[in-house]
Structure 1
Amino acid sequence: MSDLRPIRRALFSVSDKTGLVEFARFLAERDVEILSTGGTCKALRDAGLTVVEVADYTGFPEMLDGRVKTLHPKVHGGLLGIRGNAEHEAAMAEHGINPIDLLVVNLYPFEATVAKGADYDTTIENIDIGGPAMIRAASKNHDSVAVVVDVEDYQRVMEEMTAHAGATTLGLRKHLAATAYARTGAYDAAISQWFARELGDTFPRRVVVAGQLKQSLRYGENPHQQAAFYVTGDQRPGIATARQLQGKELSYNNLNDTDAAFELAAEFEAPTVAIIKHANPCGVASGPDIVSAYKAALACDPVSAFGGIIAINRKLDGATAEEICKLFTEVVIAPEADEAAVAAFASKKNLRLLVTGGMPDPTSAGMTLRAVSGGYLFQNKDNGRVSLDELKVVTKRAPTEQEVKDLLFAFRVCKHVKSNAIIYVKDGCTVGIGAGQMSRVDSSRIAAWKSQEAATAAGQAQPPGTIGSVVASDAFFPFADGLLAAAAAGATAIIQPGGSMRDAEVIAAADEKGLAMVFTGMRHFRH
């Protein structure tokens, strides 16, 4: 038996009218009868198409402010009736139910309504009931019925009907059904997440993760891994909202690193540049302008910056772009880029330039997710910040005004460095970064060593930048050795969470070295 099913009757009920008239006209030209609901029906009739309104077909008017219009046996029977089943066909004939071979539905714009900040009642009214019910019915009966929920699939249906004398194949109908169930699943996920937020239920009993494919990737972290990029519909500026103005296709690692870089650059109000390599910063600096900030960030570790990601929290200008062109860079991301910057990058064909249209709010609420065997780990995004009045001076010497500024800068950077993290900062610029070590003292030493290497690479005769710097630690010093390593590198002040059993020992070591030290009471592990 052939799996081809001719389309003789179609039901349209859409909120997104993109491509609607062209698709319906294609069907009408092939003698397909078109049923439709209120607004869709009007749009089709206005285009000169002959349409049977669902209310006329069922004999029941739309009622309850449009809440009830397609919830009727003549609709659902037409979608669910099994073709070739004598009992089903007899029941359909007895009750005047005509088979519906194609369902075209896209749902009330619930997600967009939430994104606009609509009030509670408006949001509730944008929860579609009839649409998901019809979609699920048609999808279940995909052996006979084709269901389209995305305007992108109109073309696929038209191509198949053209190739098969007005019929669709079972293969296509299966793909459409899978897409349809994913759509209703994502829709219900958005509704449940909205309810949870309204109720203040951070971790509800059940949680659903939904996304829409934005980009298939060549591979994942390594060539033997498959990968793709899905977006959630969150309008937070970043890689999900970015437009790529030029350059090669973005890879999995590009996307991961670019996200890390942009979130870090967003932490600062002053013009700031963050340079990232393998999801860790190798240089971060604020300055009076972007080009100054870029030069200072690059100076922290110019060797690691090669082939890195550069994030900027201001409009990218031509002068900064020209400086960036001197270095091999994978990705540059900024909220905007002026014409001079775009022109400067034109010769760098492989460099990816992304513009996001804005900066994310680093203090906004959100969730992070990580897959583990058999499940997921959810947590609140680390949007914690420490202000000046929250610092607790624990040493005999209090930090100077400049040291305080650098300490706060360093602690913000620290939040974005893999633990164990040690950050040396001087004059609003990182001068040494130690990341991802099993021992905190090793991070202290590595950061100092890299600062010395950077000074050597620059051909400087003066000591490394750690001399006269401040140090941030993402967690407390369990022993004094990490602090002493920082002091040996020339640091003068320390910022750390505190809370170790040996705090007194660490404070005494700081006093002995003449260091100023402040506790934050907040830890910034990043694994």
Structure 2
Amino acid sequence: MNIKRALISVSDKTGIVEFAKELHNRGVEIISTGGTAKLLSDSGIPVKQVSEVTGFPEILGGRVKTLHPFIFGAILANYDEQSHIADLEEHSISPIDMVVVNLYPFEEVQKQTRDEDTLIENIDIGGVALLRAAAKNHRNVVVVCDPADYPKVIKLLDSCGDVPLHDRRMFALKAFYYTMKYDSTIHKVLSELFASEKYEHMTFEKFSNPQVNYEILDNVDKRFVRLSKYTEQSTVVTLGALVVAQEPDFVIAFNDSLPVSMVNLKTSGGRICDLVGSTVVMRRLTNDMVRKLKESTFTIISYEEAEDEEYAQEALKGKELIKFTYFFENLQTEKIPIVHMVGNVMIKKLVSTMNIYRLLLASMPKNSLIAEQNDGFFKFETCPTNIIESLEKLIFDSEKAMIKLINIYTNAEVDNLFTKICGERGINIFTF
């Protein structure tokens, strides 16, 4: 028997007494907590309390029981690492070979109440940590979260004295899925409780990855853009794709989650040298554009079509190339949801995509400016406390480069001073 020590802590106690008896009969030492330990002990099964292992009592009304190095060190030790074995020996930690855990019944509780305190108290912490630790270290620890698997585990132990790796992997995947669903339910319920309406957390990502079967996509009935592959920048790539859908000659660049520069290729004569950022989005990736982007700092290049796909793939090796496809007939009539955090509440509003500046500013913080230059380039600035500072910086930079600002687009409340500064320089102001 390679399984010598098991930690059992379950909320759903279906079949656990029988399973624990079978483990005990095969020489497995059982560690347990709270109600599970009492049930097993009352059923005549020798049990060691977790507090006996850790030398520390349960505290905070049971919120902290298993979160201790004597438990997690015993679960997370990788026996292929000599330093891990040395750590166990130095600190007198005995390995745990099996973790049998299921979680507080948040799903059932949320069907009966929306009392915040009750819901919060039924969010499992230690159980999720135990499952994830054991699933992570499944080569060394068997993780069991489903009572339906108890008979299978006993059968495997009887057939070979262990649980084979492919079964350990299956149990680990089941545990990860179980905790994912658990967290998803918590997120859904608390979103309803804390936000002004259900699913206030809508973002472009829903539309750029509609093929992902997340429950949060249930209420989405319109696909705007499909990306060729998953990217952590799916939100900004989708936003960029919506912008260039309306202005095919535009190329837009983002840094993390915010737009930072843009250019009209026709007005600029094809120049893109002043674009800055980490992600760039365009309709058509020409061979000339490929040559210019090859030495650029952009790490993600997204486009609808390429002049020479093979050349682009070869020349831009080392950069992430993402193609996008549109899924709408007439974007001019569409409205899309944009979300802002106000305090701790997410506020959603629908933004018409007929105006790309309204669309961009709706995705940016309050007091943002988009400055259009007469050379075809657009500069973006945000200053939450003082938009005059942002305006003066844009004017200083343009005058230093002997370029004229022609339009300012903003989501700020414009005062007389702002209007005066722009008026003196012939800059048009558009507020959204």
TM-score interval (norm. to shorter): 0.3 to 0.5
Instruction: Compare the two structures and name the one with the higher helix fraction.
Output: 2
Instruction: Please give the TM-score of this superposition, normalised by the length of structure 2.
Output: 0.47
| Length-normalised TM-score, structure 1 | 0.39
